[in-house]
Structure 1
Amino acid sequence: MRDIALLAGRFLLVVLFVVSGLGKWSNLAGTAETIAAKGFPAPFAFAILAAAAEVLGALAIILGVLPRLAAVGLAAYALVTAFVFHAFWGMPDPGAAEMQSIHFLKNLGLAGGFLVLAGAGAGCFALIRNERP
């Protein structure tokens, strides 16, 4: 039961990253605009990097390819994007602040889930486990 729960949890944890990453790939220009608005240099390169991180990280989690490493990487990604792109504090529009606070808290929850996965491991349904048996 533990291994089945870990497999199902891995799928559910990364659904958002698959959808979001594919959305970024299909609109790299729009993603680059969002990144540029935050003052990042080379926004198109960062857009490609963000899309690749989301899709490849999610696939690594689903397939169980170095799942602990992928989980730590996606936890860090979720935390960085929470603080950089969903900084709700100090926003003048209460509606926009509320929406960004929801996204911020969602990212914190995802980071927590990824850290739990990193601690627990992927279970037996993994292709390349980076954990002790």
Structure 2
Amino acid sequence: MDVIVLIGRLLFVCLFAASALNHLTHTKSMAGYTASRGVPFATAAVFASGVALGVGAVSVAVGLWADIGALVLAAFCFSAAVLMHGFWAEKDPQAKMTEQGQFFKDLALGGAALVIFAFFAYAGRDLGLMVTGPALSLG
């Protein structure tokens, strides 16, 4: 079971790690889109979210307080869904459909991150292949 959980953790964080790298290496270009969505301090927000994505991804991947890392990823996903993918405000039908897909993708990933949080907070100390146990306990 330990190896399956490790493989699942690594696969789960691939998207977040790639996104973190993108946020940190293309901060200025991403800030333009972020600003167009009405997010204040867009450059700082892109950089900060890149750091959060990186920290959360590494935390979950290596099992270093993976429960907290999963909460960080969930917080990013839910805030990105609301701030960046407000499909309800789109007038163009194609843009609305695209943003709706992104909104629900972020919602689903945030939900999965919450499940991972609960999993580690409940059973984390019994799992192998972790650097630390959970920071929080639900069990």
| Normalised TM-score (structure 2) | 0.86
Report the Cα offset of residue 53 of structure 1: 0.9
Q: Which runs of 5+ in 2 are unaligned?
A: none
Partners of 2:4 and 2:55 in 1: how far apart? 22
Q: Hey, what does 1:67 align to over in structure 2?
A: 66
Partners of 2:31 and 2:42 within 8 A in 1: yes
Report the Cα offset of residue 5 of structure 1: 2.3
Report the Cα offset of residue 83 of structure 1: 0.8
Partners of 1:13 and 1:110 within 8 A in 2: no
Q: Hey, what does 1:4 align to over in structure 2?
A: 3
Q: Does 1:118 align with 2:122?
A: no
Which structure has more RCO (C-alpha within 8 Å, separation ≥ 6)? 1
Q: Hey, what does 1:97 align to over in structure 2?
A: 96
The one-letter amino acid of 1:10's match is R
Superposed CA deviations along residues 4-29 of structure 1, whole A, max 9, x for unmatched, are 22212111211111111111112110
| Normalised TM-score (structure 1) | 0.89
The one-letter amino acid of 2:130's match is A
Map 1:2-81 to 2 at 5 A.
Answer: 3-81=2-80
Superposed CA deviations along residues 44-69 of structure 1, whole A, max 9, x for unmatched, are 22121011111121111101111001
Q: Which runs of 5+ in 1 are unaligned?
A: none
Partners of 1:120 and 1:101 in 2: how far apart? 28
Matched-pair identity in %: 29
> Paired residues, what number?
132
Report the Cα offset of residue 90 of structure 1: 3.3
Partners of 2:78 and 2:107 within 8 A in 1: yes
Partners of 1:48 and 1:90 in 2: how far apart? 26
Q: Hey, what does 2:131 align to over in structure 1?
A: 127
Deviates most, 121-130 or 107-116: 121-130
